[in-house]
């Protein structure tokens, strides 16, 4: 089969963010744009030549076309075998599972995660390395550097492969194996969790649950595992059919974008437990009756109770959290006598810790939780972990949280997002904060005393690599914190995130309204950053 060398030209805007390259669909549809980026992956990741590649995505608009393009490029660059999810579909955690199970040399995941989908919305692509995790910074830098020198790419001339029928195909000399996207992942979940106990919970007659797949990738996974394998009643999974535009919704599992689910936990005869996942299946939101579990608390509770889950019965060696995530997990680690690592935002920073056996549970405040079973955050894993705890403890979600707070204290927590702001204005705001924290230690800010202020820098304890300028931290007396960071997951402008937490050790004060408790800290956070002056915004776009 003929291999074409197609001439192209570099694109200057192909630097991957914290989760790969994300742009509008129209950007990826430009001639040579996707091809250049994928060619850069093949030219910098030499192990793929003669090796195995996993391929799939969240099914958003342009997913199927991108899969065919990548298959032709893979064949043109000497890849020996591609494992592609049926229909071009693989959730992000399932892709990590496939890479690890079949010892692939890497994987290409097509997703813009929780960003909206559709012809005029977002698309994304990222490379995962052989451990199943997101490419570390050195790899993404190498890929980006190569894109700036791109003058052409190699592809085979061939018609589209049938990706809807499970089985083996040939594309030139390359094997294309279309695999069931669910079966390997579902088998892994059965190995970790007590499916018998969860099955009994669903068949108790007194427990009701709803899972909102948000018309995204986890719909088929949730139906198979929750309804068919675990015996949840049909209809437990809502919005379960994946759609290219996510049904016109925003596949971000939070209080703002999952209102239908939130309403099912409130009012007359609410469900006992509710959960949601995002576009590519790596995020989660956990709810109980009239009760919202912050991702920070979810991580802490799962870590504290991991020994109740069969896959972690012997205990966990350590915990990791991203820097903006609340310090609730730190308190658990201290009582368990294990290490808690504070990393920059981005799941790739957990990879070395997981591979070295330093941690087994990790999470981010941005609705991501996971463990050492794969090297990605995993929405359904978190849901199953909570179901396992509910089945064993025979308590409600709120009871589990209240017991946890009484033992470890409560970290009240909130995040304010200012989306799509001018990038220059956002950078100026951060630059001012960097100057501010240089001599802020010891000062009094309202009722607080500043214990430290810095621009967070992380030294990886495994390979000693350094990641600087990861966000502004201001630590306050009594365990409170304010954190500022610019997000790397959007496609237009900049997103300023302000993270705020206040520690409350007194059980008598642990059931107050979060908004009321956090109001003084929220006001202080805006004032310190001069948010309105720099951005023109008086209110955040999203509060979680």
Span 112-133, pLDDT tens digits: 999 999 999 999 999 999 999 9
Q: Helices in 225-339 by DSSP H: which ranges?
A: 259-264, 295-304, 328-336
pLDDT of residue 544: 83
d(C-alpha 374, C-alpha 351), whole Å: 9
pLDDT of residue 543: 87
Among the options 113, 296, 371, 480, which is catalytic?
Answer: 113
Sign of CA dihedral 483, 484, 487, 492: positive
Does residue 245 share a domain with residue 105?
A: no
Residue with tokens 């992942």: 185
Instruction: Out of 408, 423, 448, pick the residue that ends a domain.
Output: 408
111 among known catalytic residues = no
Does residue 109 share a domain with residue 37?
A: yes
d(C-alpha 308, C-alpha 385), whole Å: 9
Does residue 192 share a domain with residue 177?
A: no
pLDDT of residue 18: 78
Does residue 225 share a domain with residue 169?
A: no
pLDDT of residue 378: 98
The domain that contains 195 carries what CATH number?
Answer: 3.40.120.10
Two structure tokens written together for 114:
């929780």
Query: Which residues have C-beta within 8 Å of that of residue 394, sequence separation ≥ 6?
Result: none
pLDDT of residue 156: 97
Does residue 83 share a domain with residue 203?
A: no
The domain that contains 487 carries what CATH number?
Answer: 3.30.310.50
Domain boundaries, position 161: 3-181
Q: Report, as ranges of residue numbers, the positions in the chain whose pLDDT lies below 70.
A: 488-492
Does residue 141 share a domain with residue 241?
A: no
Instruction: Out of 408, 424, 456, pick the residue that ends a domain.
Output: 408
Does residue 273 share a domain with residue 172?
A: no
């Amino acid at each position: 089969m003929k291999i074409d060398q197609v001439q192209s030209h570099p694109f200057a805007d192909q630097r991957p963010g914290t989760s790969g390259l994300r742009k509008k669909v129209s950007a990826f549809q430009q001639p040579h744009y996707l091809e250049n980026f994928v060619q850069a992956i093949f030219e910098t990741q030499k192990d793929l030549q003669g090796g195995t590649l996993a391929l799939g995505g969240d099914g958003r608009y342009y997913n199927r076309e991108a899969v065919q393009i990548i298959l032709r490029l893979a064949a043109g660059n000497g890849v020996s075998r591609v494992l592609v999810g049926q229909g071009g579909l693989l959730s992000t955690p399932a892709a990590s599972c496939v890479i690890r199970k079949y010892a692939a040399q890497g994987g290409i995941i097509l997703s813009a995660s929780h960003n909206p989908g559709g012809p005029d919305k977002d698309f994304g692509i990222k490379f995962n390395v052989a451990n199943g995790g997101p490419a570390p910074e050195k790899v993404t830098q190498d890929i980006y550097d190569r894109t700036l020198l791109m003058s052409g790419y190699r592809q085979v001339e061939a018609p589209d492969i049938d990706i809807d029928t499970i089985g083996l195909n040939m594309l030139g000399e390359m094997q294309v194996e279309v695999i069931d996207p669910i079966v390997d992942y579902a088998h892994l979940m059965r190995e970790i969790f007590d499916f018998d106990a969860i099955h009994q919970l669903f068949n108790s007659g007194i427990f009701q649950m709803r899972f909102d797949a948000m018309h995204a990738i986890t719909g088929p996974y949730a139906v198979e595992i929750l309804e068919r394998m675990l015996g949840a009643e049909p209809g437990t999974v809502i919005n379960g059919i994946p759609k290219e535009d996510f049904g016109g919704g925003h596949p971000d599992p939070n209080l703002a974008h999952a209102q239908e689910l939130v309403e099912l936990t409130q009012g007359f005869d609410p469900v006992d437990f509710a959960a949601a996942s995002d576009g590519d299946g790596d995020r989660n939101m956990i709810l109980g009756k009239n009760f919202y579990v912050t991702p920070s608390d979810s991580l802490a509770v799962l870590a504290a109770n991991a020994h109740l889950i069969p896959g972690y019965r012997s205990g966990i060696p350590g915990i990791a959290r991203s820097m903006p995530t609340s310090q609730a997990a730190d308190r658990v680690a201290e009582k368990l006598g294990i290490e808690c690592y504070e990393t920059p935002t981005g799941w790739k920073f957990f990879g070395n810790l997981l591979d070295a056996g330093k941690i087994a549970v990790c999470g981010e405040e941005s609705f991501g939780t996971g463990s050492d079973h794969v090297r990605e955050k995993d929405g359904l894993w978190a849901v199953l972990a909570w179901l396992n705890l509910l089945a064993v403890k025979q308590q409600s979600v709120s009871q589990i949280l209240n017991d946890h707070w009484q033992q470890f204290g409560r970290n009240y927590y909130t995040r304010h997002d200012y989306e799509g702001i001018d990038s220059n204005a956002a950078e100026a705001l951060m630059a001012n904060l960097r100057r501010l924290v240089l001599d802020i230690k010891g000062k009094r800010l309202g009722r607080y005393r500043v214990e430290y202020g810095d621009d967070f820098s992380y030294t990886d304890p495994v390979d000693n690599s350094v990641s600087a300028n990861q966000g502004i931290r201001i630590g306050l007396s009594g365990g409170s914190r304010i954190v500022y960071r610019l997000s790397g997951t959007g496609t237009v402008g900049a997103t300023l995130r302000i993270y705020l937490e206040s520690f409350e050790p007194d059980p008598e004060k642990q059931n107050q309204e979060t908004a009321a408790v956090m109001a003084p800290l929220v006001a202080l956070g805006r004032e310190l950053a001069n948010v309105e002056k720099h951005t023109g915004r008086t209110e955040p776009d999203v509060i979680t």
